[in-house]
Amino acid sequence: MNEGKAFIKVEHMLRIRLFRAFLPLILSSLVPCIAASPAHPFLDTSRPIRWSALAADRLQPDMKEAIRRAHEAVDRICRTAPEEITYENTFGALEEVNVSLTEPMAKAYALKSLCDSDSIRKAMDEATPLAVAFHSSLTKNQSLWNTLKTAHARLGDAVADPERKRYMELCMQSFRDNGADLPPGKRARLEVIDRELALCAQRFNNLYMDARKNWGWTVRDADALDGLSRTTLRQAAQEFRSRHPGETGPGWTFTLDSAAAGRVMEKVRSEKIRKDLWEHLQTLATDSYDTEPVVRQMLSLRSEKAQLCGYRTYSDYALQQSMAGNGEEAMRFVNGLLDRVKEPFFREMESLRQAKARLTGNKEVRLHPWDTAYYANLQAEERFRLDREELRHYFPLPRVMAGLFGVAEQLYGIRVTELPVRKPLTGISGPEKGGEAEVWNPDVRFFAIDDGKEERLGYFYLDIFARSNKRAGAWMSPLDAGAPPADGRPGKPRLGMVCLNVQKPADGEPVLLSHREVRILFHEFGHLLHLMFSRVSIPSLSGTNVPQDFVEVPSQFMENWCSHPDILRSFARHERTGQPIPEDMLRSLEESRGNTPAITLVSQLLYAKTDLAVHMEPERFAAGSLDDADSIVAGDLEYFKDCRQAGRLRTARHLFASSSGYASFYFSYRWAEVLDKDIFEAFEHSGLLNRETAGKFRKAILEKGFTVPPMQQFTDFMGRKPNMDAMLRKRRLTS
């Protein structure tokens, strides 16, 4: 859920279309609907989760059992006589069916993301079609649809609970959007499309994970890596030794499981070496790992599905419950921002070209794709005297976590406590530890969050380090939506996981984060607070189950705190000396936002525009390679016109790693940024850690889930509609 992920987020932040494609649903919130059973470990709803019992060969039989029980529950709904209809035995019962099937696949998907293996892939390939077929069949079940229509008409105003009213309306709309009113032949075709989309997403995921796992770039000449820090070189040398056992000569291997390759582009002085790495990066997701065919198939299937359901384009279909409302409005937003930053974009690119001209002594020199990160970093060091490698020493992991938890505690009055864990998954080396919570790797940690002394809000796993069998990026996954206290009963704690991909340091060295990694950790914790603070009793409307152009607001809002000088002073200290971060370094970090803000923003907006374009006009990109889509969409904003680059779509996990994912929604990061910067300015005006303002934000937004339309949540807090200027000010793109 962060744009720096090779997801976002993502896949754990989900679109609230209750019965749409399966893969977004597998990560939605959970409530216990099936009793714990040792014979069915994937259906066991006891907490903490017994990860060690989740053998891959149990997934398919457990899924079959869950579907058998779900069919029985649906049949009971269908047999409900009109005079016996209540909310509980119709819509409420259907919600229980939904979340009961989510439990086994949510666990399986977590295992695939965190401990990928041939056995779990095979199990997912077997179980996914079963779950997809069932979910797809729900909205095509005419007996069920007739019962729901009767229930909706009969219950009407009799349902006083606004949560239930909203759930009923969204549920009815979701059924219509998934073909419930279509003739039999079209309904059958929709079931096939849903199944094929889920399988395509599985194929894309497998290809992409294998491509990353097998990608590596090795250098054997130390002089060629001049400019890299000793820490980066040690990590690369350690990776070389692990990949080339028995070789006696020196070598340094860089992978995509860390930021090391990115540091080469920023720091290595040799243009020849940077170019070689850039060219090698263009081979990702090609040849035997070529993702283009499956991407094309998914674009075609999504377009067909949208048109079957009565929408002109897939973007209109995907966005109809969002804040944007449709594809044209989303594209208007993206183009409007691009118009605002076009001039500063070219000005910044020329500034980098001039920096290269000064260094090379060639006034007519051209800037290349492998130059931008290097000269942007060099410019930052010269203009702001900011050495990002030195900055790492002020962000040791323990202090960053203390700072993160401290901010949350001061804002909301919560308490975060680490709990002991035990027994990593079978087959994973590592010492057993005492404690109640099982984990899947010895490095995973487990925490509880309490609302002061009054309520246990929930628990979360923290998985920080990169591994070869762990998917790329960073994300927060809700595993259990829990339930708020009601009618004198205590609430049920929520459960989530926060995952990053920080490169594990060489043996004996401290974990030092880049400021970007600090920001990502704060971002994912923002998603977690959205889950933990939810006061919604219906899981499908709870926590992070909001439209994707709003789900990033709480997470991006949380990022603001790790960039504010006053907050950084409270926790950023040198890992050896304990000295606070120097004031000149703080100033440099703050001022460096003005280094290349337009270049960064244009890159993100062009990604969003490409996403919308291929989903709004798939026929426009039917011929030729999808690698050409980026340049077609960029138009006169394409700077490197003569340099053939691999297209963004090849590696767009946000868009193709699940049946729907962030497809047509990538713009939502920038849409959410407009909202989160507007909100943060309210905190700056009232006092950064003002508990009253934080309480209002928590009540208006973090507690509401999707029970209130997102724009209303924003206006309830701000008292007005959003304004774009705060975002442009924070990016130093307007005064």
Last residue within a domain, chosen from 561, 594, 627: 594
pLDDT at res. 3: 34
Tokens 């949540």 belong to 713
Last residue within a domain, chosen from 543, 572, 594: 594
Shared domain for 398 and 524, answered yes or no, is yes
Shared domain for 270 and 399, answered yes or no, is no
Classified as helix, coil or strand, 483 is strand
**54 lies in a domain?**
no
pLDDT at res. 593: 82
Distances (CA, A) of 204 to 67, 105, 201, 297, 656: 26, 18, 5, 11, 7
CA distance 5 to 14: 16
CA distance 683 to 666: 27
CA distance 284 to 215: 7
What burial class does residue 623 get, using C-beta atoms within 10 Å of its C-beta: 0-12 exposed, 13-18 middle, 19+ buried?
A: exposed
Q: Is the Cβ–Cβ distance between 409 and 692 less than 8 Å?
A: no
CA 134 from centre of chain: 26
Secondary element (H or E) of residue 14: none
pLDDT at res. 105: 87
- pLDDT tens string 246-288: 888 899 999 886 657 888 999 999 999 999 999 999 999 999 9
**677 lies in a domain?**
no
**169 lies in a domain?**
no
CA distance 600 to 377: 13
**250 lies in a domain?**
yes
Q: Is the Cβ–Cβ distance between 102 and 22 less than 8 Å?
A: no
Count of domains for the chain:
2
User: Dmax of the chain from CA atoms?
Assistant: 87
Backbone angles phi, psi at 53, to 5 degrees: -85, -5
Tokens 């060219």 belong to 279
- pLDDT tens string 309-347: 999 999 999 999 899 999 999 999 999 999 999 999 999
- pLDDT tens string 401-456: 999 999 999 999 999 999 999 766 544 444 455 677 999 999 999 999 999 877 99
Q: Is the Cβ–Cβ distance between 662 and 8 less than 8 Å?
A: yes
Give Cβ neighbours of residue 287 (< 8 Å, ≥ 6 apart). none
Could you say which residues of the chain have pLDDT below 70? 1-38, 257-259, 423-434, 735
Shared domain for 264 and 398, answered yes or no, is no
Range of the domain at 247: 215-274
Last residue within a domain, chosen from 259, 274, 289: 274
**450 lies in a domain?**
yes
CA distance 292 to 619: 15
**546 lies in a domain?**
yes
- pLDDT tens string 177-225: 888 999 999 999 998 999 999 999 999 999 999 999 899 999 999 999 9
pLDDT at res. 429: 47
Tokens 């995509």 belong to 256
